[in-house]
Amino acid sequence: MTGDILTVTLRCSSTEQVNSETFKVRDISIIDDATSQRISVLKDNEDRWMASNVNGDYIGTSCETKPGIIWAKFPAPPVTSRTISLNLPQVAPFDGVPVTR
C-alpha cells in the first residue's frame, strides 16, 4: 500500500498450452473485511481503469508459457482494517488477505 492506494497483484501459471482469462474490470473488487464494504478498482482522471493489461473495460492475462501477472489499484481500506477479501469473476474468493501498510 502506498498512501491511500492499495495495489493488488496476482500471478498465474499453467501447464496447459492455452490458458488465458479475460473479464470485466468492473467485476473485480475487494471487500473490507472489517466493514463488509465492497470497493471497486480505481479510475484515473481520464476515466481509465488503474489496472494492468486493460483493453477498454476488460482485463486479461495469459498464463501459457510464463507466469502471467495482473494488478489493480483500489482505494485503501481504513487503517482499522487488517484483512480484505479479493473477488474475481470465475475464481473462488481470496478471503482474509492481510493488508500490509
pLDDT computed for residue 36 by the predictor: 95
Residues ≥6 apart with Cβ < 8 Å to 17: 64
pLDDT computed for residue 90 by the predictor: 85
Single-letter amino acid code for the residue at 94 = F
Question: What does the alpha-carbon distance between residue 82 and residue 84 come to, in Å, rounded to a whole number?
Answer: 7
pLDDT digits (tens, 9 = 90+) for 67-93: 778 899 999 999 999 999 999 988 899
pLDDT computed for residue 14 by the predictor: 67
Supply the Cα-derived Rg of the chain in whole angstroms. Answer: 14
In percent, the amount of the chain with pLDDT more than 90 equals 59
Question: What does the alpha-carbon distance between residue 5 and residue 7 come to, in Å, rounded to a whole number?
Answer: 6
The torsion angles phi and psi of 71, rounded to 5 degrees, stand at -140, 160
Q: Where are the domains of the chain?
A: 5-91
pLDDT computed for residue 19 by the predictor: 60
Question: What does the alpha-carbon distance between residue 13 and residue 82 come to, in Å, rounded to a whole number?
Answer: 28
pLDDT computed for residue 16 by the predictor: 67
